Structure formats: C-alpha cells, structure tokens
C-alpha cells in the first residue's frame, strides 16, 4: 500500500483535475462543456495554489499568539486564489455571453459548427 503525504495527495488531485480540464477543452465538441472544462482546469490550478499553504503542524486547539507563525497555514497563496477565482469567473462570463449569441445564430452548441472558419 502506498502511503502518501497529505500535501502530495493534494498535488496529485490538482494534477488530475488539470489533466481532466485539458482533455475537456481539446476533445469535447460542445462549447458549454468546454467552458465547464476550463472551470475544472482553473480549479486544478487553484488547488495547487491552496496546497502550497499547507503547514505540517495542525493544532487541534488554538495556539497562543506567540507561536502563531509556526502553527498557522501559509497565507500568501490563499489570497492569490481569491484573486484568481474572480479573474476566471470574469473570463467565463464573457465566453458564456458570446456563446449565447452564437447559439442564437446556429441553434446548436457544437464547436465544429459555431466556431468553424469560413
């Protein structure tokens, strides 16, 4: 049995999410599914960022403030994730808007139809 460190397992999950997202973007022929795949890809990257925050010493009860720096999870990448979530949401909103318009024109969500080069 492979015993895996919590952090490594977390990075593994993130990697799998990224690969699933990439698969969806390149191999699925539906614009909405592509956008969902992009969301999964983004979640994978966000999970990577979050996994960096992990600090080995997780106390059950609150430590006193003197040793806080030793016990606390690292805060930097948590803040970066908050920023990245908003960035992703904005990009996806624009893409959804354009897909609504192209759907109105072609009445289908297939990328091979609506994104065809003329």
* Residues that bind another protein in the complex, under the rule CB under 8 A: 7-8, 11-12, 14-16, 18-19, 21-23, 25-27, 31, 34, 38, 41-42, 44-45, 48-49, 52, 54-55, 68-69, 72, 74-80, 82-84, 86-102, 104-105, 114-115, 117-118
Smallest separation, CB 110 to another protein (Å): 13
In angstroms, rounded to a whole number, what is the distance separating the alpha carbons of residues 88 and 102?
21
> Rounded to the nearest 5°, which phi and psi values hold at 61?
-100, 160
Smallest separation, CB 46 to another protein (Å): 9
Smallest separation, CB 87 to another protein (Å): 5
Smallest separation, CB 61 to another protein (Å): 17
Spell 73-98 as b/e; 16+ CB within 10 A means b.
eeeebeeebeeeeeebeeeeeeeeee
Which has the closest alpha carbon to 49: 73, 22, 23?
A: 73
Whether the Cβ atoms of residue 34 and residue 114 lie closer than 8 Å to each other: no
- The nearer residue to another protein, 1 or 70, going by C-beta atoms, is 70
């Amino acid at each position: 049995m492979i015993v895996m460190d919590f952090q490594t397992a977390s990075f593994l999950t993130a990697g799998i999410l990224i690969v699933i997202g990439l698969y969806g973007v390149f191999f699925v022929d539906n614009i909405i599914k592509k956008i969902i795949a992009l969301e999964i890809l983004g979640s994978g990257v966000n999970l990577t960022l979050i996994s960096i925050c992990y600090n080995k010493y997780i106390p059950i009860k609150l430590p006193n403030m003197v040793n806080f720096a030793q016990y606390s999870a690292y805060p930097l990448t948590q803040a970066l994730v908050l920023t990245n979530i908003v960035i992703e949401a904005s990009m996806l909103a624009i893409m959804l808007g354009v897909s609504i318009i192209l759907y109105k024109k072609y009445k289908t969500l297939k990328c091979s139809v609506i994104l065809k080069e003329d």
